[in-house]
Structure 1
Amino acid sequence: MGDIDLCYASISDLSRDFGTGALSPVEVTRAHLERIDRLNPVLEAYLTVLAESALADARRAEEEISRGEHRGPLHGVPIGLKDLVYTEGIRTTAGMSIHRNFIPAYDATVASRLRRAGAVLLGKLNLTEAAGGEYHPDSPAVVNPWNSSYWAGASSSGSAVATATGMCTASLGSDTGGSIRNPCNMNAVTGIKPTWGRVSVHGVFGMAPSLDVVGPIARSAEDAYHVLRAIAGPDVNDPTAGRAEVPDYSVGPPEMKGMRIGFDPEAAFDGVESAVVNVLRDALATFESLGAAICQVRLPSTMGLAAGWGAYAGTEAAVVHEETFPSRSTEYGRWMRELLGSAYAVSGIDIARIEDERRAFGGRFEAHFEDLDLVLLPVLPVGDLTLDRFTQLLYDSDNLPNVFRYTAPFNFSGNPTITLPGGFDGAGVPIGFQLVSRHLDELLLARAGSAFQSATDWHLRRPPV
C-alpha cells in the first residue's frame, strides 16, 4: 500500500490491518507526518505538529497490539485536535495572539479519552480567532485545498482541511453556529455535530458555552461515529455532560427501508442557490432509491434564531473573555473585537426574547420526530463562497443571518446533525447537506450517512493537492 493510500485508509481498515500485522501504526504515522511536512506549508492546517510524541504513541500502540492488547478501533490511528482542546504541556492557542504561549497543565477530557483509546495525536489544528468568524490578523489562514480562492469554512477549518487532504485520519472540531458543518461542507468531509452535552467540553476553550459542542470530522460517517464513541459520555469534570452513554455497537449495514425523512421545500429551496438545490434534490433521490420515505413537512422558521445568534453568542463570549476584554481589546482581531464589544449593548430583554424563540423553536422542531426519523436541510444557502464574498457577508449584518439559518438554530435547539458531501459547484468546490435527528440519536445519523455513502462516492473524492 502506497503512502497516499495509508493516509486515506479508513479507521476500520487501519484497525483490521494493525490487528493482523499487515500494517504498522509507526508506518502509517510516518506517512502522515511526511504528508504534513509537504502540504502544511501551503494549506496551514496545523499550528503545532507533534512529530516526536506521535511516533512514540505509534510505537507504544504497535507494541500493545502485538501483545494482544488491542484497545479498539482507534488504537494506533492518527488523529488531529483543533487547537482549542487543552493538551498537557503542549501549546494551545485557541487561535488567539493573547494565548500564543499558553501551555495547559492538563488534558481536555476529549484528548484524554482519545489517548485512552490508543489514538496517535499528530498535532494541533488551525482555527479562527477564539473559534469566531475570522482568523487573527497575525495568524495564517487555512487554505481550501479544492480551490485556494474559496473559503475553507470558519473555525474548524484546519480540522476539515487536514482530514480532507490525508494529513490525519480524523480530527476533532467544535461547533457554536456551524463550525463543524461549514468546514465539512466546503471540504467534502463528514462531520457529526453531537447533541449538546453529549461530549464533555472540560478543557476546551469555549466560545458560547450553551451553544458549544465538540465533535468528530472524518472522511466517512462510520469513521466519524468511531471517534464519537471514543469521546462521548458522562464526565465528572463537566456538569453539563449528559449521563447517556453512546451506544457501543457498530454503525451496522446501510439500511434505509422504512426510514422517514422530512423535507420542507420552502425552507430548503427559498433563496438558495441552484448548485445547492441540485445537491439536495440528488440526495433526496438517493435516499428514496435506498428505500426511505420522503415526507413533505412544514418546519418552524429559523430566521429569528439566525438573526439573534450574534447577540446571544456575543454575550456568552463576553463572559468567557472578561479577563482579557475589553482590557486588552487592541490585541483582538476586528471580528472578535466587534462581536465582544457589541455584547455590552445587548439588554437582558433582548436575551429573554431570544431565549423565548429558542425554546419555541426547539419544541416545535422536536415535535416533528413523532412522525419522522430525520430531517434533510442544506448547510449553507450559497454555493459560490469565494474568500471575497465570504468577507463581504461576514460584515453585512443584514445578510449574515441568512448564512447562519441552517446551522445556528440547531446549536440553540441542541439537536445533533451529520454533514455529508453531496456534490460540487461549477468551480469544483464541494457542497454538502445535513441530516438532523432527535436528541441523542447520533447512531441513526451515522447509519443514514453510511447508507448514503454506500450508494455515492462524493466522500471518496480527493482534493487536487
Structure 2
Amino acid sequence: MQHLLDLPRLRYSDSANTAGTALHYLGLTELAARIRSREISPVAAARAQLDRIASLDGTLHSYALVLADAAMAQAEAAEAEIEAGFYRGPLHGVPVAVKDLCDTAGFATAGGMAIHRTRIPAEDATVVRRLKGAGAVLLGKLQLTEGAYSDHHPAIEAPRNPWHAEHWPGMSSSGSGVATAAGLCYGSLGSDTGGSIRFPCAANGLTGLKPSWGRVSRHGVLALAPSMDHVGPMARSAVDAGVLLGVIAGADAKDPTASLDPVPDYLSAVGHGVRGLRIGIDAAWNSDGVDSATAAMLADATETFRALGARIVELRFPEVVQAVADWFPLCAVEAAVAHAAIYPARKNEYGPVLASVIEAGRSVSGTELQRILLRRMELRGHMAAVFGDADVLLIPVQPFASPTVAAMQALAETPSLVSALLRCTAPFDMTGHPTITLPGGITDAGMPLAFQLAAAHMDEATLVRAGAAFQDATHWHRRHPSD
C-alpha cells in the first residue's frame, strides 16, 4: 500500500476544497467523509496539519506540546485499518488536539503550570482514551491559563487570536480556540468552569458545546473547581461538536460523578429544523450592559430562529447577581482543595493570579461556604423551572464584542466589569446546565461575534439540533481568519 504522504505533496488549497474551503478549514465531518471515501488519506491529513503547525504556531502559541511522531503513527494505523475495511466512525483518522489538562500516558500534562512541565501521567484521561478508541489522531496538547484559571503563568507565552493578535483569544481554553480556528486541528477539547469553552469560541469564531455537568468524565483531567468543571468539544460547527461529544460522553467507572444516563445519538435530530421549538428570551439579560454590536447580533439570531419556525417566548430568567458573586469564592475554595498537595509547599513556583485565588479559598469560612452552597441549590431550582416554559434560552456569551487584550487586562482590575463578563456564563457552571456557543456575526473591525443557547440538564441533543438549524441558515461558522 502506498501512502499519499509518499506521493508529491498535495497543493491542498487547490486539490482538496469544498466550495473553496482549503483542506485545513474543512469541517471535521467533511474531512471524515473524505477519509472514509479514501479521497484523503489520514496520513496526508496529519502531515498537512503538522506542517501547518510548524509554519504558524511559532506566532500563535496555541500548542503546549506537539506529538508529531505519535500522531503520524496513529495516522498510519488509521489508514491501514480503513484500507482493510475497518472503519471506527467519523473520528477515524481525523487530526484533533486536547487541552493540556487532559492526561496523556507517556507525555507531559502541565495544565498551564510551570510546576508541572515534567509531570508525565501513566495513563490517558478517559476523554483521551475515548478519542483514541474512536480512531482520532492526537496532534498534541493545547495551551491554557495556569491551572485553567484566568491568567497565564508568567513563564508561558499566551496564545494569540488568529483573527487579530491584539484581540483577546478567550479564557483558559484559548489554545484550543486558537488552534481550531487557525486550522491547526479539526476539533479540540476544552474545559469550562466559568466560561472557558464559551469565551474562546466567541473570540475565535467557533462552535463550543459545554455539556451538562457529569455528562463527560473528568477522570484524568486536572481540576480547577471539580463541581463546576465541564470538559467539552470546540469545533467549527454544531454537527462537528455533536460528533465529538458523542465519543467522549458517558458513564465511567473511574469517575463516579459521571452520569449513568445513556448517551443519545446527537446527530439523530439534525436536519429536523426548529419549527415549534420554544426559544426563551429575557430582554433584560440581552440588553442590560450589552454593547450595540452584541445586541444587534442577538436580535438577528432571534429573527433567524423565528424565520425558521421557532416560537420566541418572552421570559424572566433567574436573578444571577448573587450567583456570580458566589462563583468566585466557591471556585477559590475548590481550587485550594485541588492544589492542596503542593500548595503552599511550593507557593513560590505559582504565578501571582492563581496563587491569590488559592489564598482566597483558604480563607473562606465553613459557614460562608455553606451559605454559598444553599444559594446554589436555589439557583439550580429556579433555572430548572425556566425550562418548563422554554426548550432553550438564547443569551449573550459576553456583554461586549471582541475586546482587545489590553482592554481585558484593564477589565481584570475592575471587579464590577469582571462580574459583568461572567454574568452570562458562570451561572450555567453553577447550575451545570449545557450550553452551545454559535458564531452569529462579524464586527465592523472584522472580528467574530457569538451567542449561546442553554438547555435543560442532559439535553445537549436539542442544542446540537438548534445549532445545526441555525448554521444551515447562516454562514458565520464558515468564516475563518486569514493566515
Q: Tell me the TM-score normalized by structure 1.
A: 0.98
Any residues of structure 2 matched to 1:270-285 within 5 Å, and which? 270-285=288-303
Deviation at 1:424, TM superposition (A): 2.1
User: Does the aligned pair in 2 maintain the 1:260–1:294 contact within 8 Å?
Assistant: yes
Partners of 1:381 and 1:2 lie apart in 2 by: 42
Question: Which residue among 141, 156, 170 is the counterpart of 1:139?
Answer: 156
User: Does the aligned pair in 2 maintain the 1:303–1:402 contact within 8 Å?
Assistant: no
- Aligned position for 1:256: 274
Partners of 2:293 and 2:61 lie apart in 1 by: 28
AA at the equivalent of 2:121: P
User: Does the aligned pair in 1 maintain the 2:398–2:422 contact within 8 Å?
Assistant: yes
- Aligned position for 1:124: 141
AA at the equivalent of 1:257: R
Any residues of structure 2 matched to 1:14-413 within 5 Å, and which? 14-248=31-265, 250-251=267-268, 252-413=270-431
After superposition, the Cα gap between the structure-2 partners of 1:196 and 1:453, relative to the gap in structure 1 and judged at 3 Å, is same
CA deviation profile, 1:367-422 (whole Å, cap 9, x unmatched): 12222110000010111411111112223223311111110100110100000011
Partners of 2:230 and 2:136 lie apart in 1 by: 21
Deviates more, 1:193-202 or 1:348-357: 348-357
User: Does the aligned pair in 1 maintain the 2:246–2:266 contact within 8 Å?
Assistant: no
Deviation at 1:231, TM superposition (A): 0.3
- Aligned position for 1:3: 12
CA deviation profile, 1:3-52 (whole Å, cap 9, x unmatched): 35221222222222222211111111111111101110010000111111
User: Does the aligned pair in 1 maintain the 2:99–2:142 contact within 8 Å?
Assistant: yes
Partners of 1:11 and 1:143 lie apart in 2 by: 23
Partners of 2:272 and 2:347 lie apart in 1 by: 51
Q: Percent identity?
A: 48
Question: Which residue among 422, 431, 442 is the counterpart of 1:424?
Answer: 442
User: Does the aligned pair in 2 maintain the 1:95–1:135 contact within 8 Å?
Assistant: yes
Partners of 2:262 and 2:148 lie apart in 1 by: 27
User: Does the aligned pair in 2 maintain the 1:180–1:193 contact within 8 Å?
Assistant: yes
AA at the equivalent of 1:3: Y
AA at the equivalent of 1:152: P
Partners of 1:152 and 1:166 lie apart in 2 by: 15
In structure 2, the gaps of 5 or more residues are 1-9, 14-21
Secondary structure class of the residue paired with 1:269: coil
Secondary structure class of the residue paired with 1:267: coil
Partners of 1:117 and 1:243 lie apart in 2 by: 20
User: Does the aligned pair in 2 maintain the 1:153–1:184 contact within 8 Å?
Assistant: yes
AA at the equivalent of 2:255: D
Secondary structure class of the residue paired with 1:398: helix
Deviation at 1:349, TM superposition (A): 2.2
Partners of 2:236 and 2:277 lie apart in 1 by: 24
Partners of 1:79 and 1:145 lie apart in 2 by: 18
Secondary structure class of the residue paired with 1:268: coil
Partners of 2:352 and 2:401 lie apart in 1 by: 26
Partners of 2:363 and 2:416 lie apart in 1 by: 18
Partners of 2:279 and 2:414 lie apart in 1 by: 34
Secondary structure class of the residue paired with 2:451: strand
1:433 aligns with 2:454: no
Deviates more, 1:429-438 or 1:243-252: 243-252
Deviation at 1:2, TM superposition (A): 4.6
Deviates more, 1:352-361 or 1:72-81: 352-361
Deviation at 1:246, TM superposition (A): 1.6
Deviation at 1:254, TM superposition (A): 4.7
How many residue pairs match? The answer is 465
- Aligned position for 2:474: 456
User: Does the aligned pair in 1 maintain the 2:266–2:460 contact within 8 Å?
Assistant: no
User: Does the aligned pair in 1 maintain the 2:330–2:372 contact within 8 Å?
Assistant: yes
User: Does the aligned pair in 2 maintain the 1:232–1:245 contact within 8 Å?
Assistant: no
Partners of 1:398 and 1:444 lie apart in 2 by: 33
Secondary structure class of the residue paired with 2:354: helix
Partners of 2:381 and 2:34 lie apart in 1 by: 46
Deviation at 1:106, TM superposition (A): 0.5
In structure 1, the gaps of 5 or more residues are none
User: Does the aligned pair in 2 maintain the 1:197–1:240 contact within 8 Å?
Assistant: yes
User: Does the aligned pair in 2 maintain the 1:133–1:394 contact within 8 Å?
Assistant: no
Deviates more, 1:380-389 or 1:1-10: 1-10
AA at the equivalent of 1:439: H
CA deviation profile, 1:303-353 (whole Å, cap 9, x unmatched): 111111111000000001012212222211121111111112212222222
Partners of 1:254 and 1:213 lie apart in 2 by: 28
AA at the equivalent of 2:12: D
Deviates more, 1:28-37 or 1:324-333: 324-333
What is the CA RMSD across the aligned residues, in angstroms? 1.2
User: Does the aligned pair in 2 maintain the 1:420–1:433 contact within 8 Å?
Assistant: yes
Partners of 1:269 and 1:413 lie apart in 2 by: 23
Partners of 2:112 and 2:43 lie apart in 1 by: 30
User: Does the aligned pair in 1 maintain the 2:195–2:426 contact within 8 Å?
Assistant: yes
